[in-house]
Structure 1
Amino acid sequence: MSGYVITYFPVRGRAEAMRLLLADQGAEWKEEVVSFQKWFAGEVDLKKTAVFGQLPQFKDGDFVLYQSNTILRYLGRKYDLYGSNIKESALIDMLNDGVEDLRQKYSGVVFYKREPGPEKYIEELSNHLGPFERLLSQNSKGSGFIAGNKISYADYSLLDVLQNHQHLASDCLKSFPFLSAYVEKMTSRPKLKTYLESDARKNCPIVPKDFK
């Protein structure tokens, strides 16, 4: 075994993209789950030692990392998911930053109840998804990945965010044929498909069960 350990809350959240990556690459990992109640009550020692007082925490043996996108970049380098040269790496980083912007918009509405609210957000979603649709259309007429013809760490982040949006509005990709095909292609990858159909995935919600 690799000795990977993901420490996070009992939700998909910011740990899910790294889970998707690891599953697709055939890696195994252990989950250490921290309850929201104990974390926010200050009853978890890790909160005091975490570099920025945040989760997820990722361990590769004795090597410890925080910050979800840093962890994704680390795994991207480790599994050759970071392009073949400095320019490709920069492009992948740029696109992942774009995904992060979309994740922040989604999180603001779903988790933090910020304006414009779910209904208005869904109405305006085409403006946010349009750039990703155009990028995919330019990559081998839609048959490639988000940053060319080779999968990168940013693809797992994009897939996670798109699936979150599908949970919010099941038909949100209806007018985006390239994004729809992309999700189908990603979720059909054998190892990734196995993970997505696993009990571990199904029993890990997007939103906490007691979330108000």
Structure 2
Amino acid sequence: MVEIDGMKMVQSRAIANYIAAKYNLYGKDLKERALIDMYVEGIIDLNELLMTYLFQPADKKEQHLATIVDKATNRYFPVYEKVLKDHGQDFLVGNHFSRADVQLLEILLTAEEYKPDILAKFPLLQSFKARTSNIPTIKKFLQPGSQRKPPLQEKDLPRLMQIFH
């Protein structure tokens, strides 16, 4: 739950959309907003795969990681690479930093935590990651000791299970 502007909000996507709209990260018109939503939903699909990795039985983890890498490098990342190439801009939608860019940066960083060279075949995503990581507020957020949560590890599972059961 997030308390913002006198409201108590729940549901991650509703919260993210509200914050994006409030801080001009949600496109200039309905067409841009639709593109942002479309790109974000694709990123969320990949994120769900990444999030389920730790919950796999030990004998399935290697296979699950192979599936993640396959889908990231053959289905998801080529789409975002193509978007950046086709319109030749620094960001996914228009030429303005948006919620979609925040989500893409986060999934790129997360994917690299699982497989450090996962972006090897994606030069535009590599430059996107470098460019957006150097935006001053994001750069500060990515510094050690910031509020960015570290990747989930096996030791975190008992606590997660306690929270969600």
TM range (shorter): 0.7 to 0.9
Distance 2:55 2:50 in 1: 9
- 1:181 aligned residue: 127
Tell me the secondary structure at the aligned position of residue 2 of structure 2.
Answer: strand
- Read off the aligned partner of 2:87 and give its amino acid letter: N
Asked whether 1:158 is paired with 2:104, we answer yes
Shift of 1:152: 0.8
Shift of 1:148: 2.5
1:42-57 paired onto structure 2 within 5 Å: 57=1
Q: Structure 1 stretches (4+) deviating beyond 6 angstroms? A: none
Change (3 A) 1:70 1:133: same
Asked whether 1:111 is paired with 2:58, we answer no
Give per-residue Cα distances to partners, 1:77-131, cap 9 Å, x unaligned.
Answer: 10111111111111111111111111112223x2332864113432453113111
Asked whether 1:206 is paired with 2:154, we answer no
- 1:145 aligned residue: 91
Shift of 1:209: 6.2
More helix by share: 2
Distance 2:17 2:137 in 1: 20
- 1:67 aligned residue: 11
Name the Cα RMSD after superposition: 2.0
Report 1 or 2 for greater relative contact order, CA contacts < 8 Å, sequence distance ≥ 6: 1
- 1:89 aligned residue: 33
- Read off the aligned partner of 2:150 and give its amino acid letter: P
- Read off the aligned partner of 2:80 and give its amino acid letter: F
Q: Give yes or no for contact 2:140–2:146 (8 Å, CA) kept in 1.
A: no
Asked whether 1:136 is paired with 2:79, we answer no
- 2:160 aligned residue: none
Which sections of structure 1, spanning at least 5 residues, go unmatched? 1-56
Q: Give yes or no for contact 2:54–2:154 (8 Å, CA) kept in 1.
A: no
Distance 1:112 1:134 in 2: 32
Identical residues among aligned pairs (%): 26
Give per-residue Cα distances to partners, 1:172-199, cap 9 Å, x unaligned.
Answer: 0011000000000110111211121141
Give per-residue Cα distances to partners, 1:123-145, cap 9 Å, x unaligned.
Answer: 453113111111111232xx421
Which sections of structure 2, spanning at least 5 residues, go unmatched? 158-165
